[in-house]
Amino acid sequence: MRTEDLIAELTDGLRPVRRLAPPGRRAALWLCFAALAVGSPVALFGLRPDLASRLALPHEAMQLAASLATGVLAAVAAFHLALPDRSPRWALLPLPTLALWLGSLGWGCMADAARLGPGALVLGTSWGCLRFILGLGVPLMATMLWALRHAGPVRPVPVVLLGALAAASLCSFGLSLFHRLDAAAMVLAWHGGATALMLLIGWAFGRPALIAASAVR
Amino acid sequence: MATEAEAEGVWEAWMAAAQAGDARAYDALLRAALPLLRAVARRRIHDEHEAEDAVQDALLTIHRLRHTYDPSRPVRPWLAAICERRCIDRLRRRGRHQGRETPIDAFGETLAAPAKAGGHEASEARLTAAELRAAIAELPESQRTALYLAKLEDLPLAEASARSGLSVGALKVATHRAVRALRRRLGGVTEDGG
C-alpha cells in the first residue's frame, strides 16, 4: 500500500476527538481518587495510637514523608511520560524520594539494631501488610493504567512501572498510618517486598494490559 | 527562518483543527509531515521499504493518539517521537524474528540445485511469490492492514488492534477475508498456470 493512500484512508470520515486534559491536572485527579481509596481504610481502622511518638523519631517521619512523596511524584511522572513528546527524564522524578524512603528504612534498621541488639533484625511474618498493599495497590494501579491507556503504543514499560510504584508507595503510606509494625527491618521486608512485587506484577502483566486497554476506546 | 517558524505554527493549527474533525487540515498536516517522518525512519532503519513501513505504522499511531496532542506545544516533536517509537518497535521485532530465523542466503546452493534440475518448479515458485505480492496489493485497505499486522508482523491481536485502530473483531474478520481472497486468487492462478 502506498503511504499517500493510507493518509487518504485515515483522513476520510475523520471524527472530532476530545482532547486530553493537561497531565498535571489528570495526575491530581488520580491522586484525589487514590487518597480516597487509601484514606477509607485509614478512616475505618483509625490512626495508630502511638503515631505522634513514632513521628518524633526522625527516620520514621522521613520514612512516611518519603513514601508519600514517592507515590505522588511517581504518579505525576507517569501521567507526563505517557505522552509521546515528553522527556524520558520524567521517569527519574520519584527516584530521589524512593532512595530517601529506602535509606530511612535502612537507617531505622541500624537504629533498631543499636538499641535492641541483632535480635531487632530477625524477621517475622506480616502477611497482612502484603495483602493490604497488593489488594489495594493492584486495583489502584489498574485505574491509573486505564487512565493512561494511550501510553500503550508509546512507552508502556516505564509508565507501568511508575504506576506500580505510585500505587504501592501510597498504600504503604496509608498502611503505616494505622498498622502497628515497629521494627524497621519488618517494614523494609514487607512494605519494600510488596512494592517490589507490585513492580514485578506491573512488568509482567501491565504492558500487555496497557496495550490491550489502548485498543479499547 | 520566518517561513519555517510560520510553517510550524501552521502545522499546530492544522493538528488542532484535525482534533476538531477538520479532515482537510488533517490531510494537509499528514502530507506535510511525511518528509519529517521519513527522515526519522530512515535515520533509524536503513532498508528503504522497512523504513516506509515504519512511517505507515507511525501514521496509524498518530491517528490513534491524536487526542493526546496539546496544541500549546510544538507538533513536530510529538510526531517525531511517535515515529521514533514505531521504528524502535520494528527493529526490536525484527531482532526477535532474526533470532528464530536463518537467512535464506545460507541455503543458496541447496535452493539453486533443484532449480537446475527442474527449472519449471523454481520458476513456478518465483511466479507464485510475485503473484502473491500482486494479490496482496489488490486487497482492500482494511484487509491488507489486518493481514500485514496480524499475519506478516505476527503481532498479538490486541496490539494489532491498537496500531490499526480496528477492533479485534474487525481484525479477525478482515484477516479471514484477506486469506480467503488470496487463496481463491492464487488457487486460480495455479490452475491456470499449471
Each domain of chain B, given as residue ranges in start order, spans: 2-100, 105-193
Task: Select the residue of B21, B70, B159 nearest A22 (Cβ to Cβ).
Answer: B70
pLDDT of A183 reads 78
Contact B26 A18 (CB under 8 A): no
Half-sphere exposure of B36 (CA within 13 A, CB side): 19
Model pLDDT, residue B36: 96
Whether B20 and A10 lie within 8 Å, measured CB to CB: no
- Whether the model clears a pTM of 0.90, i.e. scores above it, the answer is no
pLDDT at position B106 over 50 = no
Q: What are phi and psi of A176, to 5 degrees?
A: -65, -20
pLDDT, residue B153, reads 66
Q: How many residues does chain B have?
A: 194
Instruction: Measure in Å the smallest separation between the Cα of B16 and chain A Cα atoms.
Output: 9
Dihedral sign from CA coordinates of A200, A208, A38, A125: negative
Could you report the per-residue pLDDT of B185-194, keeping only the tens digit for each? 776 544 333 3
Closest-CA residue of B relative to A88 is B81
Q: Which residues of chain A neighbour B59 with C-beta distances below 8 Å?
A: 3, 6-7, 10
At residue B140, the 3 state secondary structure works out as: coil
CA distance B35 to B55: 10
Give the separation between CA A133 and CA A198, rounded to whole angstroms. Answer: 9
Task: Nearest by CB to B73, from A14, A18, A85: name it.
Answer: A85
pLDDT band at A118 (very low <50, low <70, confident <90, very high): confident
- What average pLDDT score do residues A22-51 get? 93
The answer for B 82-101 residues in CB contact with A (under 8 A) is 82, 85-86
The predicted structure's pLDDT at residue B74: 94
Find, in chain A, the residue whose alpha carbon is nearest to that of B51: A3
Please report the number of interchain residue pairs, chain A to chain B, with beta-carbon separation below 8 angstroms: 105
What mean pLDDT, rounded, does chain B reach? 77
Q: What percent of chain A has pLDDT over 90?
A: 60
> Is A215 near chain B, with CB under 8 Å?
yes
pLDDT band at B7 (very low <50, low <70, confident <90, very high): low
ipTM of the complex: 0.83
Q: Does B162 touch chain A (CB under 8 A)?
A: yes
**pLDDT by residue (tens digit) across A153-193?**
888 999 999 999 999 999 999 999 988 777 788 888 888 99
pLDDT exceeds cutoff 60 at B101: no
Distance CA B136, CA B182 (A): 7
B93 contacts in chain A (CB < 8 Å): none
Mean pLDDT of A40-66: 89
Out of B137, B145, B159, name the one closest to residue A211 (CB).
B159
pLDDT at residue A60 above 90? no
Q: Is the dihedral of CA B11, B13, B15, B17 positive or negative?
A: negative
Name the architecture of domain B2-100.
Orthogonal Bundle (1.10)
CA-CA distance, B172 to B151, in Å (whole number)?
11
Q: Is the pLDDT of residue A35 over 80?
A: yes
**Average of per-residue pLDDT values in chain A:** 90
Q: Give the burial string for B111-139 (b: 16+ CB within 10 Å, else e).
A: eeeeeeeeeeeeeeeeeeeebeeebbeeb
Q: Which residue has the higher pLDDT, B137 or B40?
A: B40
Q: Which of A84-98, A173-187, B105-119, B140-154 has the lowest mean pLDDT?
A: B105-119
Contact flag A7-B163 (C-beta cutoff 8 Å): no
CA distance A3 to chain B (A): 6
Residue B116 has pLDDT above 50, yes or no: no
Residues of A in contact with B64 (CB under 8 A): 153, 214
The answer to whether B78 contacts A19, with C-beta atoms less than 8 Å apart, is: no
The CATH architecture one would assign to domain B105-193 is Orthogonal Bundle (1.10)
Q: Which residues of B touch A85 (CB under 8 A)?
A: 73, 77-78, 81
Rounded distance between C-alpha atoms, residue B66 and residue B16, angstroms: 9
